[in-house]
Chains A and B, each alone.
Chain A
């Protein structure tokens, strides 16, 4: 197949499938920022794999003109791990919602983070279950009234940014669908980062939990004097604050998992069945 050598633009990453999201959904901003970021990075669409689980936001692979996996509820990270380990040459984005990544898939998140696979994980955090229509999620605030918490939830919410820091993610950031330009820059930086990059996006659900006003009033950039290589300072900023801080909390360099796992790559030999069997003689 003849491959065009023209510079890639955002629309080169857009598939012919129309998004199924409701008008105004925060996920549109993430999708559009992703297209622009991929164009900024000039990544060949066939070199990119977008992996997701289940939920409204997890439909995202269908809307991208890249390779994609729409996996099972909560299982985006295991599949992303397999892809990256098998094919380190590919750019892997694991994208999904707060229910997918932090409820049913929570068991996988810390392991992917501590291993430091070179992938970008984007959580489109709307603090509700959209696809199943308005139940509370693991990131819903205490007191959140929903169809499954008619008297308000009593569960302490998960803090994805803090969790990512605790688990050993080497790049941690927060974005907001209401700030698309910053989102685009964060995705670019997250993809460029060598290691496990986690971006939590406050992505309001206009249908069941419209938080645009809430976040518009509360978001604020991480103070300019914050040193993202300072882990303790990053943890402090990630603790619940009056403001919702946006930007890069933490950035560090650590050996990448797939490279260490493939440490013998340069001295590898062809598998010789005869020699292998002879060991049992």
Chain B
């Protein structure tokens, strides 16, 4: 039976075009109406080392990267050795260069030996065109509309006529080779479907799009994997829309300038990864103390220290929740998907501005770098919140920057406003910002600042629950694992297992009331997360005092739905 849901994995030497082949193929698939979800990982070196790219393509929304590999494209022997065990046992396809790889017998696998290197080098005299040859082969083999590919390549090389010509020839060579020399023996077809105008974006793209939509007009950052694309896209976009993008000398300067800009009245953000977050921690406390809003994106990667810069770990939750000396309010938000990243970063700005606190936004290597297809977000649903400013009366009558209020939020004057002069202090201070009576001030100002989180907590909505209404097993996840968890839960429900799940996005403060309701409604709580120590599981335990079944993975790669599914099944079977 023909199948149009395919998981394709491409593996090879870093720098030889594995990632670009995957990207071109993904975009072309999306343009012909398919849903896509990618994962990529490459070595931290610029060239060399093993890189691989996985794309899952399907006619229905794709939630995760897929369990097994239907089509493995091995650019070299290492790729074959590394990934062959993941090949679909029943209907797998192996595409390889026979000059590089001599596969062992695969009784049920369809083998397509294709001399990519020879085609590129000898037939085309264009060694670097190998990736486009491979793209052509995939298109020819699976029936992908060639016009979507030529269109994409033309766009990419439109200013470089010679390269454009070479690439188009390489594409043609790949397609022709597949059609002439290969006998189709696999069940996979990506024939054009109804074309829907979907976007293909990475998590980092979505973060920038959402931040700018929310009104961010100042960005500062220091290059770091996997957050650098945010800096690059901001540097390209902000100067033309009246904003500023600033490459700082280090992460302390990045967050410092963000807070300076925010103090001056401009919505501001920085993005980094774990090592940078460590350096920004002193300013997180200042932001909480001086009540100057900011948004800090942490695209988490495997730590500690320099760790594995290009690999995934949800390892910074503890730091986001508790990092820093002393006690100060902060909001922690973690998006679940690329589309969610767009909406949640808007939420992050709105909450930062509304409550005048630091907001830490936890993306990760998987989410920041993966691409997903999505319908263009409905922009009529965007709501933008600005910070509270003092009115004329407050400015006339001895303005109090840190006035004690019921919500904890005090009107904030921006420089240039007559009568609003105050000092944003890192020292404990009274309502006017004076620092000369710290004991009395601390007594009243700590609760004042934390009241902002209490106010917010009352406004938080219930995280949507999905799965069986009479569930006995409850799954609570956070961050980029949302799709894999949802897919696992849906499969289990289809098998009759009574399981349901929630995936809160605001992690501090938690919507405790609703999470408690959910916990009470089930017998067992499972918490999957990509880290070793179970940071979210421990956090939930500390608040709700309940035992949880942990699923942890710390190998630098995302969960597959199958991994979570198996654990849910084990729990359902009483193991």
Contacts and interface: CB of A to CB of B under 8 A. Distances in A.
Given A46-B417, A81-B246, A90-B416, A17 B436 contact: yes
Contacts of A7: none
- Looking at chain B's contact residues, the main secondary structure is mixed
Contacts of B415: 46-47, 49, 67, 83, 87, 90
Nearest to B253: A78
Contact of A87 (B377, B416, B422): B416
A276 B260 contact: no
Nearest to B197: A281
A160 B378 CA distance: 55
Interface stretch (A188-196, A248-256, A266-274): A266-274
Interface stretch (A69-77, A134-142, A143-151, A221-229): A69-77
Interface in A97-127: 107-108, 111
B244 A89 contact: no
A71 B256 contact: yes
Nearest to B286: A72
Contacts of A239: none
B209 interface: yes
A222 B258 CA distance: 39
Nearest to A271: B241
A80 interface: yes
Most buried by A among B217, B256, B283: B256
Contacts of A281: 197-199, 376
A86 interface: yes
Given A46-B415, A273-B212, A86 B377 contact: no
A264 to B, nearest CB: 5
A15 to B, nearest CB: 8
A270 B263 CA distance: 23
B426 to A, nearest CB: 6
A107 to B, nearest CB: 6
A80 B246 CA distance: 13
Contact of B426 (A47, A71, A86, A277): A71
A17 B392 CA distance: 24
Interface string B244-264: 101011101111111111111
Contacts of B435: 62, 70
A277 B377 contact: yes
A264 B421 contact: no
A261 interface: yes
B239 A264 contact: yes
A82 B416 contact: no
Interface of B: 197-201, 205, 209, 212-213, 217-218, 220, 237, 239-242, 244, 246, 248-250, 252-266, 268, 282-283, 286, 290, 376-377, 379, 382, 392, 395-396, 415-427, 434-436
25 contacts: A1-B419, A44-B418, A47-B415, A47-B416, A49-B415, A67-B423, A70-B427, A71-B259, A71-B424, A72-B282, A78-B253, A78-B256, A79-B260, A81-B256, A82-B260, A82-B264, A82-B268, A86-B266, A90-B415, A262-B239, A264-B240, A267-B240, A269-B240, A280-B201, A280-B205
Interface of A: 1, 3, 17, 44-47, 49, 51, 54, 61-62, 65-72, 75, 77-87, 89-90, 107-108, 111, 258, 261-265, 267-271, 273-274, 276-278, 280-281
Top 4 A-B pairs, shortest CB-CB distance: A82-B260, A78-B256, A82-B257, A86-B261
